Structure 1
Amino acid sequence: MLSLMLACGVGEASADPTQQSGTTAPAGTINAQTSPGVSQPTPELKIGAAEPGIEINDIVVVGARASQQSAIARKRNARTATDSIVADDIGSFPDRNVNEAISRIPGVALSRNGSGEGDSVAVRGNGPDLTRVELDGLGVLGTNVAAGAGAARSADLRELPAELIKSVDVVKGSTADMTEGSLGGTIQIKTRSGLDFKKPYFSVRAGGQRTTLGDRWSPDVNVVATHKFFNDRLGVIGSFNRTEIQLQQHFQENVTGGARGYLRRFDFDNSPEKTFSFNLDTLTADREADTVFGNSAETPRTLLTKAAGATSKAQCLQVFPDLALASSSSNQRTQRIFEQRTCLNQWNDYFPDNFRQLVQTNDEVRTSIDFRTDYQVTDDFIVYAKVNQSSRSGHDRQRAFSSGGVPIAQAAGTFIPTGTYPQQNTINPNAPGGPGAYLLLDPVYGTTPYNISTTSTASNYPLRGDVINVRPGSVEVDALHNVTQLTTTNNRGGVDQIDNNTEVKTRYAQIGGDYVGERLEINAMAGISLADSTREDFRTSRSTFIGDVTASITPSGLWTLELPSDVDLNDPQRYVQLAPATCLATQPAGFPRTAPGCAAVNPVTPAFGVVGDPNRYTVGQLPLTSANTQLTYTPVIGETSEKNARFDVAYRTQDIFPFITRIKTGAQYRDRRIERWGGGGYEVTSARGTFGTAGYVAPVRVPTANVRGQLFACEDTAGSLGTGGRPCVFGFTPSADPTASRSGNEVVTPQQLRDLFAGSVEPATVDFFKGFPGASTGTTRDGLLPQKIFEQLDAYKFMNLDCVKTCTASDGQVYDQPKTDTMEVTKNVYLMADAEQDLPLGLRFTGNAGVRGVFTDVRGTGFLTLRVRTYANPTATTFTDSFFRRNVTFKNRTTDWLPTYNANLWAFNDKLVARTYGGKNVARPSIGTLLPAGECLLDERILQDDSIPNGCSGRIGNPALSPFTSWNYNYSLEWYPNRDTSISFAYFVQDVKIGNPLATNADRQVFAGSDQINPITGQPVGDTVFNIPTYEDGPGYKRKGWEIATRTAFTFLPWLLQYTGADFNISSAKSDTEIGGIRAPLTGDVQLPTNESKYFINASIWYDDSKLNARLAYQRRTTQFVCITPCGGNNIDFNYPGDGYTNVRNPLAGDGYNPGSPSYVDATTYIDAKIAYNVNRNFQVYLEGRNLRKQGVLRLLDASQNFEDGTPKVQRLAYGGIRVLVGGRIQFGN
């Protein structure tokens, strides 16, 4: 019935776009930020301009219905596939930033953080780093450079309030005159011009916002003013926006960082069947799989083949037998133990590696000032100038609370090795809490490296069995080898607090002119974009003894921890518990850990010192000390800029050529630069000569800007004050290392430490997961404000940005700190033509075709260290290392030609159109894949054997990477039965030829062009070939998808229903990743591309009768694949080489190979609402609510990893509460 009524034109004012000028809503409508009268706009020659043959005048944007008409008309008349939001359409959504407004468009997926705020968008499955965002033609810069190079291309639009926007176009096709840089679509944002207003206009909006997890209201103010001068030829508009935001997120984690998988470290059930078996089909085909391990004849392929073939633990030790002690080195034995552990891991059971509750509070002040002038020189020619400055000042506080609960193996003083080879493990009868507090696991086959030496770190033996702090009989394991409950002993609990202070400033300046004559159109623009960001991390961590903790899985996939009833972790006094020093771990078996006469772990020199070292003290000669409170300060600075200039000329040829209606050509120049400074610190020149002898020259070292230290209390004893004792040394003791001269330890009295803790408490203000269904509740624990502690310590004078870019070295001279730097200079030329032709049967063809040339010069600069290793003679076991550190620059040049075409067939008086689009698109790869970084080794012995390449550590970027390259196609059918309604179906194909860069190894002259001389050969280092870990062009894939969208106003309905309307769109995308896709290590299942969702749904209903305006919006995004765990680097769980796997290690380390699992972000559904009431023409009040459904963000492992009863393996749950906004708006001049 609805479709029939629409087709018949019920409620239709006019279907002819030429009659749209002057459309108004009912009298009395007010929408202060977007509803002023509109006069002749600044001429725009852009992708959203009308198709040839269709004349469209601007709509007077008042009310939800009229703004929807404008968006529909904009979509209809675009030269390529486009969806739009116009003026008040943005204001009518319950969206507080542009990211959230854009996400209502079909094919655009929004990522919301745990607070429910949209922080990035993906267009047709392509993330923010592959989506170009333009603000009035200038590229919007990434403002998260300080957070990491990988975020440098992702535009963050949170600084840009929706009130500034005139229109937003998401262009899913392309034309030759568009700037490249997107794979799925380009986002073009236009702000208002002073010439858009008929009368002087002024509006003020003021409100407040708060979340259900917050503790205060935060103000939000917006001011817009505009006026015309000189007979309405000069238009001036200015706006100011200031928003304070307090967001709070609650997290519960079962794994470290919410990103790792469940560990398979211990075999609790001792089952003869495997927990998993290695899947060799997921081993990479790259040569890394066949690279021989150091200290072994095995390769990853042979290791996994033998391990997968083992049917019992005994067979693991048969195929990987213990090496003979007499004929093996410590490194060889260590490698063999890791190979044994790799095989034995197949019988280990699943258990979380960490339990944490986190509370993250984000206080931000966002300010934006925008000023624009437009001058109409003639009726055909307008010039303009625009400046914008935005800032975001943030103070993020993250409190991570731990309570133990995770088994720890071979804790000091808990075990006794037998002294045999291999060592046999037993429980120490004098272990803290007694032997009944520990469990000995797998004493026959379980193998771990154990160092038996008191003077060396390289005397590893195999140790059979693990002694862990688990109560015997407390462990429960299901049939799928998942631990569901256990009790750990001797736990420590604490709080790790991080304060992040961020400052982000963006500045845009632009000048230009537009000439629109009868035939000739000229557009010229030049502008510059600048973004500066700083980030300072202040961090403290402290802990205290708890005792027994019982961990149990719940049906939600979260774990509960039961602590002793007498433990109050909010009591600051608990964290100042004095204790004597402990004995060395290498004391005779069973020796009490705090015996006064034993040799203590030295507080000054490393534990593995010389036994006769006069600085070695006994436990009885040392004072009592508290547990260390870690102090860290980490600064980062990022700077991004883009210079942009373009010139476009178009000529209308309707009467000259029978088919071609317009020819357009132009050129563009862009210079984009990204710089990032971290903590820095390096050795400028190494020492020369022997210390203490004539001719010795000390090394020159530049200190790092990072500050690291420990704070603890000290109390003297009779022994420490007696003869030969070591009394407390109070105050700040800087590090003896010149590179870390800004770091050191701070020692205070016990009472001073208690006062510091008591005076820096950040009280909990809300129950944990307040209001969230299914999560644990209870008052959150108090936090600690690091800066309040740091401000009272001597080291605070070093906690600033003074040493980040340049710093004074040990020789008193000022040196530049290392930085990463990329520069991309892109030059474009293009030529395109528009076409139109009337056809029989009332049909009409329109379209365009063209080609764009892209010429890019790329330069990447990073900091590389050259380590030169020499030996006294060919058989020497010792060596000497010299270091040379240099900024290394890689360069590359690429050329791409990008053809495009758009063809449209119109029917039924231009109410129905079938569109087709095809074109080539490119986008530059992540900055992090372009930068050189790491250390390269020149080994004298390797240089004597040409068959062994010199190597480098650290992934070294490759500026020669090709851009992401895709051939995109779009086919759509769009029906416009009347001005209020549109129904469209689109099908798209992205045929990606070059995808995400892959990690690989290659032989390269890393230092090519350097004048550094190799001291071993006397030849330039630039001639030396190194085998380096780097990146290469990634494999392609195909992504296919469809979008269905409809929007309408129900003007044909009776009574109040005539003021209602509805919008709905659903998008789906699926990638063909059978070739080159990331596979789950154990199952081999091919994963979707990272962060791609199968479906994204938007729906809303609205009401607008000129007095009352209300909207209810629904948004759903299905599950997204994130990564293969552990999703980053650590020293515990390592993956074997596989395409797209993280934390791959060769040589082996940790527990050997223990493959990860796919990690996903679970599906989310958000409901947002807004209601506004116009008291009169000049005053409006409004109320908004976000995340009314109380949606959390759940990260979990692949379903194949579920517990026996189907309980999911949850990595992290995040929740930000419901967000409420209230306020009012006053306007004059409408």
Structure 2
Amino acid sequence: MTHRDRRSTCVRRMGHIGFKGGVALWYLGAASLAQGQAAPADQAQATTPDAAPPEITVTGIRQTLQTSIAVKRNENAIVDALDSQQIGDLPALSIGDAIESITGATSHRDHGEATEIALRGLGPFLSNATFNGREATNGSGDRSVNFSQFPSELINKIEIYKSQQADLIEGGVAGTIELGTIHPLDYGKRLISADVKANYNPYENRIRGASGWGWRGTASYIDQFHLGALGDVGISLGYQHRDINEPEETVAGSSTWFACDPENPSAKKCNEVSREDAAAGAPFYLAPNSLAFRQISQTDKLDAFIGGLQWKPTDTLDINIDTQYSKRHYIEDRHDLNLSEPTYNLQNVQYDDQHRLLHDEGTSSVEANGNYYERFETYTGIGGDVSWRPVDRLTVDADLSYSHTKRSTIQRQTRLRTDAKDIYNDKTPINNQRIPYVYDATGALPTVTFDPRFDPNDWTLFSDDARFRRDDDENRDTIYAARGDVAYDVGGFLKQLKAGARYSWRHTTANSSRNEITQNDRSLDAEVNEACRTYFPQQGYMADAPDRSVTSWATFDTLCQFQHYLGTEDPGPPADTRGIDSTDVTEKVWAGYVMGTYDSMLGATPIRGNFGVRVVDTSLVSRGLRSDLEVVTNPDGSIRLEPTGDFTGVSIKNHYFRVLPSINANFELRRDVIFRAAAYRAMSRPAPTDLSAGRDIRLADGTDFTSVADAIDQITASGSPKLQPIMSWNGDLALEWYPNKDTIVAGTLYYKQFAGGFIPVVRDEDFVIGGETVTVPVTQRQNSTQKSHIYGIELTLANRFSWLPHPLDGFGGKISYSHALSNFRNYDIRLGDVVDPTTGTVTPGIIPPANITGYSKDVLSAQLYYEIGGLSVQGIYNYRSHYFQDFVGGNAQLRYVSPVGTFDLRASYDVNRNLRLEFQALNLFNENRIDYMPVYGSVRQYYYYGSKFFIGARVRF
């Protein structure tokens, strides 16, 4: 039996606190430990393991924390964990929220929920996530796990491997996140559990005609059966239904930004400044391609199932089968007031020394847009593992798995624009399609003030250029994998020798299609305008924002508009859904490893750990389509491009072989002090969608073009199939003190050296558009040759305040802090440094590069809990400094997220051994989120999504 199998089970998780409270907790805990640890017998026993401790039952938060500390102590690698003996006892509503409480882990939040996880301040693409030791698919097109699809009530173990070892699936430069479900025979007892929570969202209460209430319900069943000669069988079943609402309000700029020339203003779109001109000292300011005020009403329904079957026909044979299934239906009803030409006819422009636009006056078409956004996502995972011990020293394991995600997103979008005449063909007060406005970004939130003659709430003013779009995006991600391992217990210094091989086949596709209809029948516009008007859906729009200018505008029922204009709410996809921007990537990986585990003495010091090497061979094929394009002129005079229907396939191959050595050494300096050292090479592959062979053509807004070439705003490669994995050499040193079962004081220093970042390259490509050949520079990314370094430190302190007098001894807490310094470089695809692939010449960019996606210099998690009798209360504070967040789905411009600190509150009361009452409050102080583009401080988007409250009960037998 290995170290990993001999884990103690003790403790429970912690409550969170604010930054100042966390610092106070640190000093209080340190002071208590300095007093010589005189205290309860159950704690003292941890330092004298040879003595037989009394039988003490520990439950609740303290139990989860004790178990997590024990897991960390017993691992051979540098590991942080959140582990509970009981299914459903992880103190969080989502796996992402739970992971955030682990040292060095933080999340990117969407609608207030923790989604993608970053480890040690490094982005999710540098981490590897596994479910029961297997890779899981994702509908986003990256390699991170969609943690929202796994209910926390059905997970009982989360481990984060900070250092690597040879038997771990490759991919964890920052670390490996391992989620685990319970093995029913190992659990050893029957469990019947039901948990129902009502959800209240104050922001939903602002939506007219809506209720702020939702709910989630979870049921679990675990049991064991003896089948006589057939051995023992255990089953575990878990199901959750979730029906909640998550409205959002936002002010947003586009995902495309221009560098505009302030000294040569244009009566039309701004004159762009080139990289060469900027390098020569030409002034410029950064402006978005559009600006929108957006109100969102949303519903989110999830059904999730997790099941397991464990069969032990004999003492030497263990068979486990587990399955996971989730189905999610997500709807957003969006209403936008959109300035579609915010770079048109700009005057009185003001900007700062970082080229951030602060003030301007201009004219723009204004649009009342609707978007009925639906997402359907299903996940299916199944795995089977057989462990056989033919003789005492030999164990043979085999594992087969399948993982599949399908995500389908349908958007039905409508547009009505301002015009010189209203829907009744009468002149408007301004008598122009373009409305004068003043833009001001000198405050906390950008504001727009319209000419007082224009009333954005007047439905009749949105009378022109009706457009209907049905966008259909379908992503599929499939993994088949097989693994075999053999472990032999050698004895002596080399305790165990282990070897194995793994094969995986991954196929990722992403296809987009658009069915677009435009018309210019003003009489029909008037009819539909009157039939589909709605009152502004929300009360108090952006009421919590520090500055606000627009508080409501004319809105229309999106599906009603489709019905009245087209005779159907859903016109369906176009006849041919193929496109030149599609993604089709197949990846095959062969990997093998040899690892030795040792346990011996170095003089009088016990030493244990492992060493080994993993070899990885990866081959991939990225397929795409090329097509001639035809020019379609819309009724408003603008143009769009559509494939002619004659597609030619392209296939781009890539291959790489990597060797990943690793060593972990743990020195037991005292029975309660462990020093760890680790050195290893790690790799992280690019996201599948970053390997796309597709092309994305963006047209500039407007109608005043003399040629198609002038109308092409930018052509970018959807991805770069030749991208190589990010490789790093890594070193970790850790010192950990375990005075008792409830306490840990730990510090880790780590270093990573990367083989470069990413830099754009430009290659000329020919496109046949409208019958003529147009040569356009196409931008994509390649690996940079520059070296990058990361230096970091992690600190952890957990302590139960048993040294305080009763009843204050029920307090306890944990604080963890991570600080990292990095010089990694990610360049803006449009405005950053660019390489000529033929000559290798680098043209300096207009704006500075970003760091690693997801990189935060500082990450803090602070928790404070109190338990007495059946009462348990905990506060949780999570903070991360600002970070660069890449757009999912391929090459795009730089986006940053502001620092964020959220506070959650959780409380429960055990009425008796079977009934628990629960209360949880998420984002209690309504922390918002701000995005910046393409430089930090230039506001791109301001989000508000409010707090969420849950109250419920759990029954368990």
User: Which band: TM-score by shorter chain?
Assistant: 0.7 to 0.9
Which of 103, 108, 112 is equivalent to 2:105?
Answer: 108
SS at match of 2:174: coil
Match of 1:205 in 2: 195
Match of 2:511 in 1: 677
- Worse-superposed segment, 228-237 or 548-557: 548-557
Q: How many Å separate the matches in 2 of 1:1000 and 1:1082? A: 12
Q: How many Å separate the matches in 2 of 1:252 and 1:970? A: 43
Match of 1:776 in 2: 548
Match of 1:1225 in 2: 954
Q: Does residue 1:529 correspond to 2:403, yes or no?
A: yes
Which of 560, 574, 584 is equivalent to 2:447?
Answer: 560
Match of 1:975 in 2: 737
Q: Which amino acid aligns with 2:202?
A: T
Match of 1:1062 in 2: 813
1:331-410 equivalences under 5 Å are 346=283, 355-402=291-338, 406=342, 408-409=344-345
Q: Which amino acid aligns with 1:708?
A: E
Percent identity over the alignment is: 20
Which of 456, 472, 480 is equivalent to 1:643?
Answer: 480
Q: How many Å separate the matches in 2 of 1:970 and 1:935? A: 42
Match of 1:124 in 2: 120
1:281-360 equivalences under 5 Å are 301=276, 307-308=280-281, 346=283, 355-360=291-296
Q: Does residue 1:70 correspond to 2:67, yes or no?
A: yes
Match of 1:787 in 2: 559
Match of 1:504 in 2: 377
Q: How many Å separate the matches in 2 of 1:179 and 1:635? A: 34
Please state how far the C-alpha of 1:543 moved relative to its aligned partner. 3.1
Q: Which amino acid aligns with 1:662?
A: Q
Please state how far the C-alpha of 1:1034 moved relative to its aligned partner. 2.6
Q: How many Å separate the matches in 2 of 1:801 and 1:365? A: 25
User: Do 1:917 and 1:969's aligned partners in 2 also have CA atoms closer than 8 Å?
Assistant: yes
Q: How many Å separate the matches in 2 of 1:109 and 1:1162? A: 14
User: Do 1:764 and 1:779's aligned partners in 2 also have CA atoms closer than 8 Å?
Assistant: no
User: Do 1:203 and 1:223's aligned partners in 2 also have CA atoms closer than 8 Å?
Assistant: yes
- Worse-superposed segment, 183-192 or 558-567: 558-567
List runs of 5+ in structure 1 lacking aligned partners: 27-61, 145-150, 270-275, 284-299, 309-342, 410-467, 576-625, 680-705, 716-747, 807-815, 869-880, 937-951, 1008-1024, 1130-1139, 1144-1157, 1202-1207
SS at match of 1:1182: strand
Change (3 A) 1:200 1:483: closer
Please state how far the C-alpha of 1:268 moved relative to its aligned partner. 8.7
SS at match of 1:1217: coil
SS at match of 2:537: coil
User: Do 1:762 and 1:785's aligned partners in 2 also have CA atoms closer than 8 Å?
Assistant: no
User: Do 1:767 and 1:777's aligned partners in 2 also have CA atoms closer than 8 Å?
Assistant: no
Match of 2:879 in 1: 1116
Change (3 A) 1:492 1:803: closer
Q: Does residue 1:1163 correspond to 2:929, yes or no?
A: no
Q: How many Å separate the matches in 1 of 2:181 and 2:736? A: 28
Q: Which amino acid aligns with 1:134?
A: T
SS at match of 1:76: helix
Please state how far the C-alpha of 1:796 moved relative to its aligned partner. 3.7
Q: How many Å separate the matches in 1 of 2:618 and 2:351? A: 58
Match of 1:664 in 2: 498
Please state how far the C-alpha of 1:882 moved relative to its aligned partner. 10
User: Do 1:572 and 1:757's aligned partners in 2 also have CA atoms closer than 8 Å?
Assistant: no
Please state how far the C-alpha of 1:775 moved relative to its aligned partner. 3.6
1:591-990 equivalences under 5 Å are 626-654=463-491, 658-679=492-513, 706-715=514-523, 748=524, 750=526, 752-758=527-533, 761=534, 763-770=536-543, 772=544, 774-776=546-548, 780-781=552-553, 783-794=555-566, 796=568, 799-800=571-572, 803=575, 819-841=582-604, 843-865=605-627, 885-909=647-671, 911-934=672-695, 954-955=716-717, 958-990=720-752
Q: How many Å separate the matches in 1 of 2:582 and 2:290? A: 34
Q: How many Å separate the matches in 2 of 1:97 and 1:485? A: 41
SS at match of 1:14: helix
Match of 1:250 in 2: 249
Change (3 A) 1:1178 1:712: farther
User: Do 2:827 and 2:849's aligned partners in 1 also have CA atoms closer than 8 Å?
Assistant: no
Change (3 A) 1:482 1:197: closer
Please state how far the C-alpha of 1:155 moved relative to its aligned partner. 2.1
User: Do 2:115 and 2:146's aligned partners in 1 also have CA atoms closer than 8 Å?
Assistant: yes
Please state how far the C-alpha of 1:189 moved relative to its aligned partner. 0.7
Q: Which amino acid aligns with 1:649?
A: V
User: Do 2:39 and 2:803's aligned partners in 1 also have CA atoms closer than 8 Å?
Assistant: no
**Larger gyration radius, structure 1 or structure 2:** 1
Q: How many Å separate the matches in 2 of 1:158 and 1:224? A: 18
Change (3 A) 1:970 1:573: same
Which of 167, 178, 183 is equivalent to 2:168?
Answer: 178
SS at match of 1:790: helix
Q: Which amino acid aligns with 1:376?
A: K
Match of 1:159 in 2: 149
Match of 1:1033 in 2: 783
CA RMSD of aligned residues (A): 3.9
Please state how far the C-alpha of 1:1117 moved relative to its aligned partner. 0.6
SS at match of 1:627: strand
User: Do 2:90 and 2:155's aligned partners in 1 also have CA atoms closer than 8 Å?
Assistant: no
Change (3 A) 1:926 1:632: same
Please state how far the C-alpha of 1:799 moved relative to its aligned partner. 3.0
Q: Which amino acid aligns with 2:748?
A: A
The Cα offsets for residues 809-868 of structure 1, whole Å up to 9 and x where unpaired, read as xxxxxxx99953111111121111111222334x11112111112122211111123799
Match of 1:337 in 2: none
Q: How many Å separate the matches in 2 of 1:268 and 1:714? A: 34
The Cα offsets for residues 954-1002 of structure 1, whole Å up to 9 and x where unpaired, read as 5385544322211121111111111111111001111112544x33257
Q: Which amino acid aligns with 1:707?
A: N
Please state how far the C-alpha of 1:1062 moved relative to its aligned partner. 0.3
Q: How many Å separate the matches in 2 of 1:100 and 1:1072? A: 29
Q: How many Å separate the matches in 2 of 1:268 and 1:1113? A: 51
List runs of 5+ in structure 2 lacking aligned partners: 1-30, 206-211, 419-427, 631-642, 698-713, 768-774, 834-842
Q: How many Å separate the matches in 2 of 1:640 and 1:405? A: 37
Q: Which amino acid aligns with 2:144?
A: S
- Worse-superposed segment, 913-922 or 125-134: 125-134
Quick check: which one's strand share is greater? 2
Please state how far the C-alpha of 1:13 moved relative to its aligned partner. 4.8
Change (3 A) 1:968 1:526: same
User: Do 2:440 and 2:448's aligned partners in 1 also have CA atoms closer than 8 Å?
Assistant: no
Change (3 A) 1:1105 1:131: same
TM-score norm. by structure 2 comes to 0.81
Please state how far the C-alpha of 1:709 moved relative to its aligned partner. 1.4
Which of 1087, 1092, 1100 is equivalent to 2:855?
Answer: 1092
Change (3 A) 1:1211 1:88: farther
SS at match of 1:824: strand
- Worse-superposed segment, 215-224 or 348-357: 348-357
Change (3 A) 1:6 1:515: farther
Change (3 A) 1:479 1:495: closer
Q: Which amino acid aligns with 1:648?
A: D
Please state how far the C-alpha of 1:792 moved relative to its aligned partner. 3.9
Change (3 A) 1:818 1:572: closer
1:454-533 equivalences under 5 Å are 493-515=366-388, 518-533=392-407
User: Do 1:1192 and 1:1215's aligned partners in 2 also have CA atoms closer than 8 Å?
Assistant: yes
SS at match of 1:142: coil
SS at match of 1:678: strand
The Cα offsets for residues 152-185 of structure 1, whole Å up to 9 and x where unpaired, read as 3232111111011120111111111111022111
Q: Which amino acid aligns with 1:551?
A: V
1:988-1067 equivalences under 5 Å are 988-996=750-758, 998-1001=759-762, 1030-1035=780-785, 1036-1067=787-818
The Cα offsets for residues 731-785 of structure 1, whole Å up to 9 and x where unpaired, read as xxxxxxxxxxxxxxxxx373x3244323xx3642331124x25243885446433
Which of 925, 932, 956 is equivalent to 1:1189?
Answer: 925
TM-score norm. by structure 1 comes to 0.63
Aligned residues: 849
Which of 17, 35, 50 is equivalent to 1:5?
Answer: 35
